[in-house]
Chains A and B, each alone.
Chain A
């Protein structure tokens, strides 16, 4: 038996798992409907796929939410996991699920997939026969993704960096890399049986003034870590920056460089997709304004040429949205996509060149690290600040980089810290900003720049 299989058996022999039948699950994946695979939908549906967000604790409520989504012509169903399951606290998740079932109040902020188990969940997934995307935030997702794939969920979001740096203060990053290596391998193995399992990275990170070069570097590195384990379908992603031009430039550069670096490691046979997140920062309280913002995000996603868009709702500022509000966004977004025709082609060569150079500078520094494997190189580069994510709460993050918006609302680097962008690029970034201000007014600008969509 391979080491991986031994590890799988340990992970799945757990008091919270009801007798995991490896052979039956393999048979299920082999014969599963192609419609369940988003990788297949990307190839056959000639449109931007629309995916909302959402997860409820009980089976019945999740089923009802999915019914609403399907009525609104959804392309991809989400399954968002509750925070106890994300932190591997299956005992609490199970208890809270029972309380939610008995009392008609939601005691969890998502669907406790491990507690429901794959036999139950599979009934729902195969009933709707739509691709489902697993949304979580779990550093150790080994049991979760085994359960997901066995249920018929063939898209797995996340990664060792993007699910750790925005969400955790002190979960060890080296452990996260190893746990995600397991995820990549399991996805790669199942991908041989039918259409490939799609892996998606979480580009928004902290969604707080993250400069595009940092977003792209992290997207590329998680992609490489996944492809090198044998994954054949991967989505890179980013969220609306606040500047339409910066979004278009980011989209162009990430697409170009994803292909370039995949080829560098001889993985050009993998399919790479681009996912766009509607505004991930603070939303306006006014629900009509929120709808305008959502609509504008859809227009930008079209300009970017995204393969999939992940939507927000008019209730974003006030908590977990109702199924009605959630379904409404899906219908509205589909409508906007249908009527958006004859889009102009915008190319900003100067910005593209600058961003490409920044990304290549940082990527070279990562590859030149003296460690022997890619994940160790990446680990070292996060530790020493070569990769620095603004506003990450994690203790390993350097927090030396400072970013602000320029007059066109592009996110610019005014202090690079240890991030090794060249002097030329650094000068270009700073030339767009007013550097005469003192720190107090810069801090006030940052507060304003973060809340840009609330004004």
Chain B
């Protein structure tokens, strides 16, 4: 399975991004890592270019909130090209402190299938694997 990943916005926190890349590879995914400082359009274009199954966006500095409000609007501009793609986001999703119970439904509304706020990397990836298994059944 193919995954496009990267850090959204003007966020240069590279450490987690490299570790996500390594961990996805270890789990057998084919990874297209766009790195830090990536804009939504670049993510979507890469998903189409690589015919990816999953888009995994991460954020550390909390900028995700600002960028991800645009996901559905932008998605609609691509017609049905992105309909089968699983949208996942994880990291530290808001500036300051926030409650996961509020954050998760909000990001689901923005257009994400899987949302992880301040969750351990491997816990998040386990959940992704389970979700993908459920989809193919």
Contact = CB atoms under 8 A, between A and B. Distances in A.
A439 B36 contact: no
Per DSSP, are chain A's interface residues mostly helix, strand or loop, or mixed?
loop
Nearest to B33: A399
A392 B22 contact: no
Contacts of B15: 208, 391, 450
A206, A402, A439: which has the most chain B beta carbons within 10 Å?
Answer: A439
Interface of A: 167, 169-170, 206, 208, 390-393, 395, 399, 402, 438-440, 442-444, 446-447, 450
Contact of B14 (A392, A443, A446): A392
B23 A439 contact: yes
Contacts of A206: 14
B23 A440 contact: yes
Contact of B35 (A395, A442, A450): A395
A441 to B, nearest CB: 10
Contacts of B35: 169, 393, 395
Nearest to A402: B22
A179 B25 CA distance: 38
Contacts of A208: 15
Contacts of B21: 399
A442 B37 CA distance: 26
A208 B18 CA distance: 12
Given A169-B36, A446-B19, 18 more contacts: A169-B12, A169-B37, A208-B15, A390-B18, A391-B14, A391-B18, A393-B12, A393-B14, A393-B35, A399-B18, A399-B21, A402-B22, A439-B25, A440-B23, A440-B26, A440-B122, A443-B26, A450-B15
10 shortest interchain CB distances as A-B pairs:
A439-B26, A393-B14, A169-B37, A393-B36, A443-B23, A443-B19, A391-B14, A393-B12, A391-B15, A443-B22
Contacts of B122: 440, 443-444
Contacts of A402: 22
A447 B122 CA distance: 12
A420 to B, nearest CB: 22
Contacts of A393: 12, 14, 35-37
Contacts of A392: 14
A208 B12 CA distance: 14
B121 interface: yes
22 contacts: A167-B12, A169-B12, A169-B37, A391-B14, A391-B15, A391-B18, A393-B12, A393-B35, A393-B37, A395-B35, A399-B18, A402-B22, A439-B25, A439-B26, A440-B23, A440-B26, A443-B22, A443-B122, A446-B19, A447-B19, A447-B121, A450-B15
